[in-house]
Amino acid sequence: MIVLLLGSNLGDREAYLAAACGMLEDALAVTLRCTAIRETGALGFDGPSFLNMAVAFEAPECLTPIKLLNLCQRVEVALGRPRHKAAYDADGNRVYASRTIDIDILKYNDVERATKRLTLPHPQIYSRPFAAALLAEIESNN
């Protein structure tokens, strides 16, 4: 089972979540199982609250973690999120900002990997209480 975390804190947040789900379903030819949408404050920066949800699906045979990452990033760009290199502050902490859509791969089956582009499972699942709660919700409905 693959689990993605979707979030939006700009514009019509619900519409961005729905559009991302539709684009993912169309591109992957799957039906997503979705959690409830939860509103959470921005973490790591001052900004509007996010709407977050988790979605799960079974991987099509030809899908790899990197292909999924590339697809998620294409969906983000199509929905108005600019792609740029991650920014870091003087202490080495990542600098976050508001965005129309954010799609993180929380889990990809039982794959464990740590590369420059992708770490699986997502390293911040359990440091973000809302992400852990959404993951538990989607896994309990499996």
pLDDT in tens, 77-120: 999 987 766 767 787 777 778 899 999 999 999 889 999 889 89
Q: What is the pLDDT of residues 5-36, one digit of tens each?
A: 999 999 999 999 999 999 999 999 999 999 99
Complete domains list, the chain, with CATH? 2-140 (3.30.70.560)
Where residue 89 falls (left for φ over 0; alpha for ψ -120 to 50; beta otherwise) is: beta
For residues 10 and 97, the answer to whether their CB atoms sit within 8 Å is no
The model's pTM is: 0.91
Roughly how many angstroms between the first and final C-alpha of the chain, as a whole number? 9
